[in-house]
Structure 1
Amino acid sequence: MTAGGPRIRFDGVGLTLGRTEILRDVRLSVEAGSVHALVGPNGGGKSSLVKALLGQMPHRGRLAIDWPGAPGTVGYVPQSLEFDRGLPMSVEDFMRATTQRRPAFLRRPREGMADIDAALDRVGMADKRLRRMGALSGGERQRVLLAQSLIPNPALLVLDEPMAALDEAGFAVFEHLLRDWRRDGVTVLWVEHDLEAVGRLADRVSGLNRSVLFDGAPREVLAPERLLALFSARPRTAAQENREPADAAALEAAVSAPARPPDGGAHPPLGRMSRSDRRVVQ
C-alpha cells in the first residue's frame, strides 16, 4: 500500500527545440490519486511533456509536483524497450537489473526476489520468469515493463502509451493494475491513443496538441467535435517553421528517444527515479 500520490501542476509550460515550438503555454493540473489521461495526435507534444516532467527536457514556465508528505517513488513505463534480443538475459535477470541498486556481486542470492515474484505474478508473467527477454512477444515485454515499475510501490506513475503492444490478456492486466493504483491513491499520468480505453478508465482527460485544447471528465470532453478539432489542428511543418534539415533530424531524435537520466549518469531502473533524480520540482 502506498502513501497518497502527489498533485502535479503545469503552469505555462513551454518547450522549444531549435526553431520548433513543441509545447506552448501548457496549463493543467493532475489531481492527487487520480488517473489522468493525455490524448492527441502524433507530434502533438505528449511524450515531450512527459520528458519535461521527468526532468529530461528543458522547459519554460513552472512544473511542480506537490507531495502530501515526504516525496515517494516515481514509476515510469516507456512505450517500448530497445535492447539486443540476442542477449542471454532472462526475465528474472532483467527484473533484478532494473529494480535493484546494489551491484550484482554485492547482492545475496535471493535478495529482492520476493518483490520480483509478486510483481511478475501481478502481470501474469510469473511462469515466464526464466524465459529469455528476446524470445518474448511485444505484449509480454510490455507486461515485464509494467512489472518493474511496481518495485518499489510507486506513489506517482508516468505511463507513455503502455497499451501499445499489449494483447487482450495484457489489456485485462493493465485495467486491473489501474484499478489497484486508483484504490491505493497512486497518481497516474497516462499518455494513450486508445480513446475507448481512456473513456472507460480515466478519471480526467486532457487533449494536447502543442497546447491544451480541452480538459475534463471523459464523458464531457471526448465528444466528436472536440476530437475532430484536436486531431485536425496539426503542429506546424518543417517548412512552416523554416528550420534547417539538421534541426528536423535533431528534433525527431530528441522526442523519440527514451527518457534518460540527467547529467549523463548511470540510468536508474526504468520503472523508477531515485530521490536524487527528482529535479522536476521547482
Structure 2
Amino acid sequence: MSLAPESALVPPKAVVIEDDPEVAHLLLVILTQAGFDVRVAHDGPSGVEAVRSHEPVVTTVDVALPGFDGFEATRRIRSFSETYIVMVSALTAEADILGGFAAGADDYVGKPFRPRELRSRFMAGLRRPQRRVAHPSYAPPEPVRPARTPYAGPVEPVRPAPPTEPAPAPVAEPAAPVPAPRGGVEFAAEWIHFRGLDLNPGRGELVVDGAPVDLQPLEFDLLEILLYSGEQVRSAADLALSLRGETYRAGSPVLESDRLLVNQAMSSLLTRLGEHRPDPRWIELTPAGYRLVSP
C-alpha cells in the first residue's frame, strides 16, 4: 500500500518530537520517504506548538524530552488535536507504556525500533479518519438573532455593490525538504536509490539495473540498514543491534553467534549483488565492518 499523497501540493503532514538528532533524522527520513511533509521539534513546548500550527496526521513523541516530558506533551496535544500519536521511547516498562496510552497516545513503540515496523504504524495513522477536536477553552458563540423592528414604510431598493476582483487562490504551504542524501543515497516516495540499486522497503522489493533481485529477509534488512547508514561504517555487532531494532549499545550485549550470523548473511548478500571483487560497486568491506562505497 502506498502512502503517496493524493496531491503533490498537499502531502499528509507529520511532526517528529525527538531530542536525539540521529533518531530524529531517521524518523524524518522514514516519514519523508513515505510521502509526508515533516516538521521536527526537539523539546516538549516546541513540539506541542508544531502540532498546533502544522496540524499533522501523524505525530511521534519521545518520552524523555527537554522542557516537559512526552507524557505531558501528549496530554497537551490531545487537548486540541486528533493527530495519530506514536510514542517512541527507550522506556518500555509496563508502567511507561500504560502511562503513554493514559496520556492519549494511539501507539507505543520501544527504542530501538525497526524502520519497516515503524512505517507500518504510520500507515495505520494515515488510514485512520481524522476529526477536528475543539480546544477545551473554546466555546462556540451563541447565534445572534436580529432584533425585530416595527414597519416604517417602503425603503429605497438596495443597489448591488460594484463587482470586485476575485480573491486570489490560496497558495499551498511548501513541503519540507527531502532529507539530504547520505553517501549518494537518494530517498524518493517509496524507494531508496543508490547507483542503479533501487530498494522498496514497504513492498520488500529490490531492483538492480532494472532487473528484480530476490533476497532473503535477513539480507534485505541488512541492505536497508546500510542504505540508511550512508558512508558510516557498520560492524557486525552494530548490524546485529540494528536487526533487533536497537539504537543504543548500553545494556545490549551482542553474542558471537549474532556476529557470525550477520557476517554470513552479509557474505550471501554480497554474492547475490556480485560484490566479491576488488572494486565493489555498492558495499565495501573494511577492517572495521561494512559501508557503502563512497561516491
TM-score w.r.t. the length of structure 2 is 0.27
Structure with the greater relative contact order (CA < 8 A, sep ≥ 6): 1 or 2?
A: 1
Q: Which has the larger radius of gyration?
A: 2
Name whichever structure is richer in strand by fraction: 1
TM-score w.r.t. the length of structure 1 is 0.28
Name whichever structure is richer in helix by fraction: 1
